[in-house]
Structure 1
Amino acid sequence: MIKIDCEKRLNENFKISVNLEIKKGSFVCLYGASGSGKTTILRLLAGFMKIDSGAITNGEITLDNGRKFMHAKQRKIGFLFQDYALFENMSVIENLLFAKKDLQKAGEMLKFLELEKYANFAISQLSGGQKQRVALARALMQSPEILLLDEPLSALDYKIREKIQDYLKKIHEKFRPTIILVSHDISEIYRLCERVYELKNGSLVREGSPSEIFLQTSGSQKFSFRGKVVALREAGGVNIAIIAVGAQLCEVVLSVSEARDLRVGDSVSVGAKAFNINLKKIEENND
């Protein structure tokens, strides 16, 4: 179990004060408004900052308790940033070898993330999605026990984000690190994470599964909202779509024709009259 029970004052008006436990090997999310303390918690866990009081532990290992402080390089933690943080003056393979001088391991990571043909490319020659995969490969070079993701996909378009999400799922399934994601994207959280820790003003205010935190299934008000399909599933012979509408998720039971035509990522119009919810696919212009 990873335990974060600590305080850290950033200025006279803001203090981190949290007590949370994360199961080792799980994929979880820190969620909350900008300025709620999510990135600071990642930085404290990574060893980029020291706590003021309390303790951060990884199983039996103390990372920081105010007296004992383990430096970032000793913590077996990988960190993935939104802006990639790659060395532009180095090639793809050189970026990986900078993290760990192990050519065999670098080759394995490039193959796993389908980057082999880009090994000798300059970073400036890559697309945003390719750069993020290189950053992922570099973060994996030292076989981290914990992988911290600070909104790494927010600058990418939906289709590229979805592809990188697939790689993140593969990484978690194959290497089983504890992955802690900071994200505002409800569909991303629902698709990837087992548990959500919601923060407000530096404190934990709620935790639960993505469905417990975000899913809204009750109510009879008339409405019509634009949403996006984040998951499709079958339950008891009934087809169900999970739709992201703003910062919430809703479940919609589909007709046979609706289920046949819908795909994850489709934009839809969600409307209701009384208790009957209707779903209409929106044909988007990709020009």
Structure 2
Amino acid sequence: MTANDPNPVLPRRPSRLVPTIAAVAVGIVVIAATAGLPIDWRDLGTVPAQLVHFGGLMFESPNWEKLPRALTEMWRSISMAWIGAILCVLVSIPLGMLAAGSVGPVWLRLPMRGVFAVIRAVPEVIIALILLTITGLTPFTGALALGIAGIGTQGKWVYETIESVQEGASEAVRAAGGGTAEVTRWALWPAAAPALLSLALYRFEINIRTSAVLGLVGAGGIGSMLANYTNYRQWDTVGMLLIVVVVVTMTMDAISGAIRRRVTRGPGVARTTRTALPARTTRSRNVDRVR
């Protein structure tokens, strides 16, 4: 088509058939799921009043007499989360690296990714219920459930991180005669280690929240205490436990987030500037003396 063409040919308008069919299919699924549930939509009007009522029972005058025990149980939950994160990272890093496209062969890579997908499909609570028949009602059950459940997601993060590393260092190691093991050790691992450490800390944050849920099925920690007092309708103690959970979780998130930022971004610019200024001053003085 040119500027002097009296009959320009316009491009065809892209078809919207596929997006329309997809939107209609999603709408049908949502409507079918909503219609299949025995929900009385008239109860939605009473939800705000119920929230205000039970919120007042829990937080107007919390029962702080149980605070020492609550802190002890919260420490157990944090311990479960920490042990589960360590188990998850120790297993998922080597397996995830084998599942990366630049490391493992196809016959090993595809089955490993399938295993990660299967583990991600099983919730932590289901894994804990299965482990209860083996290990019993102990905090170790919760830690083991957190460790196993996290392997699926953590392994996926590992091989995606390895695959996103730039190929320059890998090509240099291969050009020097290195094999897959040398490329992994001297090219991929140094480049991916900060991101993997950040993801490991993020897994710890997730485990802290999940450990409270596992306590509801008898795995111990603050969740078990919360379930017991909820069953007995002691709302003042439940409110105190919720305050402890929120405060401790936010504190651990802040600490872990600060460590992750330090790992991924390195030392602050201000510190680098402060350490660099005296050297520049000394060098300029030496130049002045020479002159």
TM class by smaller structure = under 0.3
Please identify which structure carries the higher helix content. Answer: 2
Query: TM-score, normalising length from structure 2?
Result: 0.23
> Which one has more relative contact order, counting CA pairs under 8 Å at least 6 apart?
2
Please identify which structure carries the higher strand content. Answer: 1
Greater Cα radius of gyration, structure 1 or 2: 2
Query: TM-score, normalising length from structure 1?
Result: 0.23
